[in-house]
A = this chain, B = another copy of it.
């Protein structure tokens, strides 16, 4: 979906601290061997309605277990986070480390530990050096301008920071949504993790916040694929502090839908940024599926296409190998009538009624030369539609993930 300018304003230089009352800060605590910033806090001046969505991985990391437990009560005020170590596959000791991180941040901020969530990303299976957190956390300053520094400190192999903020009108008040994410990158070659922090000064009723976040995450972050490996640490946090003074949004409020769409604008922007910055990636791939028997089928098919290693390699080489697209859809388990499927690469239709349109290869290839490649599959069956984002598969991905670094 795209925002019309009447509905949303995308803020210049937006960050996770764009909404009123949000502060952040980060420093280098020596958890990353590179000596780069790796420890941070993102916090609201006041307690927030807080919702989280987390990895489905059965080996969920200690910070995920702790944050999930805390959000049984949808209230929080801050997230303490680190890069360089995922605190995953670390057993009961790891859970105690996550708890200690939240206590240290709470006492630094002067709030209750129950209001502090934790997020970690980095190597798996290695104890997190909590002594570094003990030493450095008390020195950490948070400011309203600290969003960019925080976005820097959650990076692993990301090549650029990923932030976005919009402002919109709710009941005559300006409401802002500001967010940062880190993408599917590796650190100290080990694990891909997605972290997302979304702060808004809207006032949200928890049930609405939860349903809006779930819907938006399903349509944005859950539609990106870099390598098909889901992290043990994926976490997405939405904190709403109400400081805009706008009325509290419930599901049946007339502005509820507009807020949800604003949230989707932010998350779509960040999802695209993450896919484009996938490890080793040189191109962003956007796949739209229409005409599916259901929306669930459309989502499944779109994700299967962006996840196909063969297609990803073809994208890299600008090879308009459209059979790979149909093969991926055909494998995804969705309803298909081979005689009805159509495919466009960019604006060129390469298949109709399941067979080639006979378009020349170089014409189709030309649509794949830029740094964004769009494909559109129409299944000709129903009204289900979805979009998914991925990237090409390059030698860079292999090099980045195979180097043995000790």
- A274 in contact (CB, < 8 A): no
Q: How many copies does the complex hold?
A: 2
- Given the complex of chains A and B, what is the CA–CA distance between A362 and B331 in angstroms? 39
Taking the nearest CB of chain B, how far is it from the CB of A375, in angstroms?
Answer: 15
Query: In this assembly, does A328 line the interface, its C-beta being within 8 Å of a C-beta of chain B?
Result: yes
Are B323 and A398 in contact (CB-based, < 8 A)?
no
Given contacts A59-B354, A327-B191, A365-B404, contact A313 B398 (CB under 8 A): yes
Q: How far is the CA of A400 from the CA of B318 in the complex (A)?
A: 13
The reply to whether A228 and B229 form a contact with Cβ atoms under 8 Å apart is: no
Give which listed residue, B232, B307, B328, contacts A330 with CB less than 8 A. Answer: B232
Closest to A280 in B: B398
A124 near B313 (CB under 8 angstroms)? no
Contact A397 B313 (CB under 8 A): yes
Q: Say if the beta carbon of A355 comes within 8 Å of chain B.
A: yes
Closest to A339 in B: B91
> A-side interface residues toward B, CB under 8 Å?
56-60, 86, 88-91, 93, 123-126, 186, 189-192, 227-232, 307-311, 313-314, 316-319, 321-324, 326-331, 334-336, 338-339, 341, 351, 353-356, 361-362, 365, 392-395, 397-406
Give 9 CB contacts A-B under 8 Å.
A58-B334, A86-B323, A125-B351, A228-B309, A229-B309, A229-B310, A229-B324, A309-B401, A397-B398
Beyond contacts A189-B317, A191-B310, A395-B399: 7 other A-B pairs, Cβ-Cβ < 8 A, are A57-B331, A89-B323, A229-B309, A229-B311, A309-B309, A317-B404, A319-B404
